[in-house]
Amino acid sequence: MVGIVIVSHSKQLALGVRELAAQMVRGEVPIAIAAGIEDPENPLGTDPIQVSEAIAAVFSDDGVLVLMDLGSALLSAEMALEFLPEEQRQKVYLCEAPLVEGAIAAVVAAAAGSNIQQVMAEARGALLAKATQLGGVSSPASVVDSHIPASNPESPTREIRLIVSNRLGLHARPAAQFVATAARFQSQILVQNLTRNSGLVRGDSINQVTTLGVRQGHELLITATGSDADAALAALQVLFATNFGDDNAAFNHPPVLQHKVTPATDGELSGIPASAGVAIAPVVHYQPAPIAVTEYHVDDTEAEWQRLQAAIHIARQEIQAVFSQASFQIGDAEAAIFDAHLLFLEDPVLLEAAYGRILEQHINAEAAWQGAVDEVATSYRTLEDSYLQERVDDVVDVGQRVMRLLTGNAPANLHLESPAILVASDLTPSDTVGLDPTKVLGICTTSGSATSHSAIIARTLGIPAVLGVDAQVLYLADGTLMALDGESGKAWVEPELDILEQLQAKREAWQTAQQQARATAHQPAITRDGRQVSVFANIGSIADVQVAVANGAEGVGLLRTEFLYLDRTSAPTEEEQLAVYQAIAQVLEHRPLMIRTLDIGGDKPLPYLRVGFPEANPFLGWRGIRFCLGNPEVFKTQLRAILRASVGHEIKIMLPMIATLTEVRAAKAILGEVQAELKQAGIPYDTGIKLGIMVEVPSAVVMADRLAAEVDFFSIGTNDLSQYVMAGDRTNPRVANLVDALHPAVLRMVKQTVEAGHTAGISVGLCGELAADPLATAILLGLGLDELSVNPQSIPAIKQGIHQLSLAESEAIAASALQQDSAQQVKELISTSVNRPG
């Protein structure tokens, strides 16, 4: 297979390009990077020796394609060839293709088995192919003249009409899912809002899809032209059938509530109630410095385009980091806001508009980007739908991030010395997600709405917020005492004593309720009739375990060790792993810690631990325990670190992806070898350490009685078990709707595993996402599980749910669930069976 090398002055840029390209082919194509130099003060640059090493790392007789960004990268690549043997040098090709588009086109061609000449041709034609698809043009120069691709009369065109049923229509997150799904197919996908009688727009442009103004009840016409048109429309139809993952029944509309404006008293400001709670503190103003854009003439338009692309790719990395942190801090559902931000950066209409401005007007990247962003923002502002008008905040947020990188402006970070109420004209989603709720006690802005993404994030963070107050608040001096009530939408400047007393009493009552909830979270999870269930946490870092303990975790039911292997070029050493395992165990003190051994493969590839050949279906391939048994040195290094960390702690070892008894016995043999080596070297470890397995393969369920005799505990991984039971790839939108852990077939597998484990006298836990679903708590209790392991944020809610249930009613619900025909019927059963307070 052809190998790909990416040469860039910026290591961050190269990593981003490699990640993007690798995702296109699920890690099947060998990609190496040679980027940056080892100089902390001036890290930008290229190194010929580094380039030659990268070429050697992916070299094959099929050839190596080298892509470069600009300037001295070409010189370094040419010099690197001098370090190679002549027979290798003849098979290395330096290519002038655009770095990002070229890399993507190249890896797709390489994965398809194309030869080096074909791969290079695809890379060179990357921009031309995009331009041709968009308007039948022969050069990217005119792509901005036509946003709608020309139809190919030889390709079949299919169409469907769909009614939008999810509550808020195609708002940012569903629009992001629509565009991401459409982009997976070769067919040209166009969309029309028949209800609004709109024109056709491109299905791969998040801005064009969003600005259709699609709301609940609207009818859409979706056409697909191309060889995979039927498959594309089927995948999109699944999104609509599943409401894009939105839960209409459980949807809790933000408090745009019938807001009654009462006459203001002196010092009282009326606004929009956006996030409940009371805050009393001095004000601090937050106003990021505006970025001044100066337009000027440029001669080298291609270099200017490359400069804009570099800024966009760094912005993408920043947003991905924000998304990861947000997923942990506010949950996956709300963090999906930043999925839409990522798609905004990839919007072909926006990128082509910016490219066209640079190429045709010969203006600098800053001016071209600002003009293109302003055009999109204006299209949002002119919409009649107020909810969709608010999405302009996301457009501006992303646009400013790229502009900051282009101009070299430092990010606007807020550092508070003491708790305060933040006063601003507005906050972007990126601003809001970075706030520390222990320092920012409240938010007061002169614009915004209760349905903005910033307001959603503030509610999730638990920061009281009042938006849309009079602009006079911007002229208050820092340190001025303010009070605000996010429930009523009022704020007070230097409030009178009686107002302060009322608000303090309200705040104390709220704090008392919160304290009681936290106190309950630290108590054992016991049902009304005395059945106790352990509630553990799923974690993937030291930071996670600290949050887990603070939220009442009774231990860690799943430590995903893959984080130790990510973002590096070689596997972590024994000492590196030992330090992390010990640090986590120390935070847990006496609580149990179940460490899952390395689980790569499937949707979790690692470039330096490649399987060695492309796999048609990685989920059914060499992953989990299979990889570890095939790489005993990697496996033994991890086992040594776990055993050494076990001294004085309750650490358990958990093996992933177990399908056979042979695998368990082979793993136990290797564990025995490591234990013997440590004993001989006089290195202490817990000689009674427990060994368990993940039950996530149907064969493990069928053989659970035999497997239970080999191990000390079971932990059911319903994420994988669901897809294997239902024969549906959970990453494939065309079949993802099948993969529901509440399907009776999956629940029966859980029941069978629990019964086999208990018959053998071992404990059985569940660590899949199902455990964190409050709807499923009653069923899981009724099926007899001993432990539930969930994300740290879900612990209080799950414990509260257990307190409110009885084992008897849970068993009845579970028995009935097993007799249903579908996951939907199970959900309906739960909603009618479980009494919910209030």
Q: How many CA atoms lie within 13 Å of 161's alpha carbon, on the beta-carbon side?
A: 6
pLDDT for residue 527: 95
The rounded distance, in Å, linking the Cα atoms of 552 and 48 is 53
Which helix (H) or strand (E) is 424 found in, with range? strand 420-424
Is the Cα torsion angle 101, 171, 386, 432 positive or negative in sign?
negative
Do residues 659 and 786 share a domain? yes
Residue 360 lies in a domain: yes
Q: What are phi and psi of 92, to 5 degrees?
A: -110, 130
Comparing 71-75, 151-155, 295-299, 639-643, the range with the smallest average pLDDT is 151-155
What value does the mean pLDDT take over residues 259-282?
Answer: 73
Q: How far apart are the first and last CA of the chain?
A: 61
Residue 132 lies in a domain: no
pLDDT at 148 over 70: no
Comparing 7-21, 34-48, 161-175, 394-408, the range with the smallest average pLDDT is 161-175
Do residues 779 and 639 share a domain? yes
Among the candidates 124, 145, 176, a domain finishes at 124
Residue 767 designated active-site: yes
What six digits make up the tokens of 383? 């919409």
The 10s digit of each residue's pLDDT in 422-469 is 998 888 888 888 788 888 999 999 887 776 777 877 887 778 999 888
Do residues 642 and 696 share a domain? yes
The 3-class secondary structure across 808-827, one letter per residue, is HHHHHHHHHHCCCCCHHHHH
Residue 133 lies in a domain: no
What value does the mean pLDDT take over residues 175-201?
Answer: 83
Bridge partner residues of 31 (DSSP): 4
pLDDT for residue 255: 35
Neighbours of 477 (CB within 10 A): 8
pLDDT for residue 758: 98
Domain that holds residue 581: 531-833
Neighbours of 828 (CB within 10 A): 13
Name the pLDDT band for 483 (thresholds 50, 70, 90): very high
pLDDT at 660 over 90: yes
The 3-class secondary structure across 597-609, one letter per residue, is CCCCECCECCHHH
Q: Report whether 813 contacts 830 (CB < 8 A).
A: yes
Question: Among 453, 628, 649, 743, which one carries the catalytic annotation?
Answer: 453
Going by C-alpha positions, the residue among 464, 475, 344 that lies closest to residue 397 is: 344
Higher pLDDT, 773 or 154: 773
Place of tokens 């043999």: 669
The 10s digit of each residue's pLDDT in 90-143 is 899 998 888 888 888 788 778 767 789 878 877 876 665 444 334 433 333 322
Do residues 396 and 470 share a domain? no
Q: Report whether 77 contacts 66 (CB < 8 A).
A: yes
Residue 379 lies in a domain: yes
What value does the mean pLDDT take over residues 745-769?
Answer: 96
pLDDT for residue 736: 57
Residue 252 lies in a domain: no
What six digits make up the tokens of 331? 């949950």
Higher pLDDT, 62 or 142: 62
Beta-carbon contacts of 632 under 8 Å, excluding residues fewer than 6 positions away, are: 670
pLDDT for residue 598: 94
Chain centroid to CA 141: how far? 35
Residue 430 belongs to domain with CATH number? 3.50.30.10
Tell me the CA distances in angstroms from 725 to 478, 699, 700, 821, one per residue in order: 60, 10, 11, 15
The 3-class secondary structure across 657-692, one letter per residue, is CCCCHHHHHHHHHHHHHHHHHHHHCCCCCCCCCEEE
The 10s digit of each residue's pLDDT in 686-715 is 999 999 999 999 999 999 999 999 999 999
Among the candidates 374, 407, 440, a domain finishes at 407
Do residues 117 and 179 share a domain? no
Do residues 50 and 103 share a domain? yes
pLDDT at 645 over 80: yes
Name the pLDDT band for 213 (thresholds 50, 70, 90): confident
Residue 137 lies in a domain: no
The rounded distance, in Å, linking the Cα atoms of 277 and 486 is 5
Among the candidates 387, 407, 427, a domain finishes at 407
What value does the mean pLDDT take over residues 740-761?
Answer: 96
> Percent of the chain having pLDDT more than 90?
39
Torsional class of 331: left (φ above 0), alpha (ψ -120 to 50), beta (otherwise): left
What six digits make up the tokens of 669? 């043999």
Residue 388 belongs to domain with CATH number? 1.10.274.10
pLDDT at 246 over 80: no
What value does the mean pLDDT take over residues 266-272?
Answer: 81
pLDDT for residue 249: 39
Q: How many structural domains compose the chain?
A: 5
Comparing 247-251, 577-581, 662-666, 757-761, the range with the smallest average pLDDT is 247-251
The model's pTM: 0.50
> Percent of the chain having pLDDT more than 70?
83
Do residues 228 and 377 share a domain? no
The rounded distance, in Å, linking the Cα atoms of 560 and 528 is 33
pLDDT for residue 651: 98
Do residues 326 and 444 share a domain? no
Q: How many CA atoms lie within 13 Å of 292's alpha carbon, on the beta-carbon side?
A: 2
Higher pLDDT, 173 or 689: 689
The rounded distance, in Å, linking the Cα atoms of 365 and 58 is 34
The rounded distance, in Å, linking the Cα atoms of 536 and 593 is 9
Tell me the CA distances in angstroms from 112 to 21, 22, 96, 616, 730, one per residue in order: 14, 14, 22, 11, 23
The count of residues in the chain is 838
pLDDT for residue 836: 45
pLDDT for residue 144: 32
Instruction: Return the CA Rg of the chain.
Output: 28
pLDDT at 524 over 90: yes
The rounded distance, in Å, linking the Cα atoms of 704 and 754 is 9
pLDDT at 42 over 80: no
Would you call 463 helix, strand, or coil by DSSP?
A: coil
Q: Report whether 267 contacts 458 (CB < 8 A).
A: no
Higher pLDDT, 267 or 312: 312
Do residues 437 and 362 share a domain? no
The 3-class secondary structure across 162-214, one letter per residue, is EECCCCCCCCHHHHHHHHHHHCCCCCEEEEEECCCCCCCEECCCHHHHHCCCC
pLDDT for residue 253: 35
Do residues 426 and 571 share a domain? no
Would you call 610 helix, strand, or coil by DSSP?
A: coil
Tell me the CA distances in angstroms from 272 to 392, 443, 458, 504, 526, one per residue in order: 19, 12, 14, 21, 41
Do residues 425 and 372 share a domain? no
Long-range contacts from 292-297, C-beta under 8 angstroms, 24+ separation? 293/366, 293/367, 293/370, 293/403, 293/407, 294/364, 294/366, 294/367, 295/363, 295/364, 295/366, 295/367, 296/363, 296/364, 296/367, 297/362, 297/363, 297/364
Would you call 787 helix, strand, or coil by DSSP?
A: strand
The 3-class secondary structure across 365-418, one letter per residue, is HHHHHHHHHHHHHHHHHCCCCHHHHCCHHHHHHHHHHHHHHHHCCCCCCCCCCC
Do residues 231 and 213 share a domain? yes
The rounded distance, in Å, linking the Cα atoms of 252 and 268 is 29
Averaged confidence pLDDT in the chain? 83
Strand order in the sheet with 31-35: 31-35, 3-8, 64-68, 92-95
Residue 144 lies in a domain: no
Residue 250 lies in a domain: no
Neighbours of 393 (CB within 10 A): 22
Q: What are phi and psi of 787, to 5 degrees?
A: -140, 145
The rounded distance, in Å, linking the Cα atoms of 317 and 20 is 10
Q: What are phi and psi of 374, to 5 degrees?
A: -60, -35
Using CA atoms in the order 214, 217, 218, 220, what is the torsion angle rounded to 10 degrees?
100
The rounded distance, in Å, linking the Cα atoms of 798 and 816 is 21
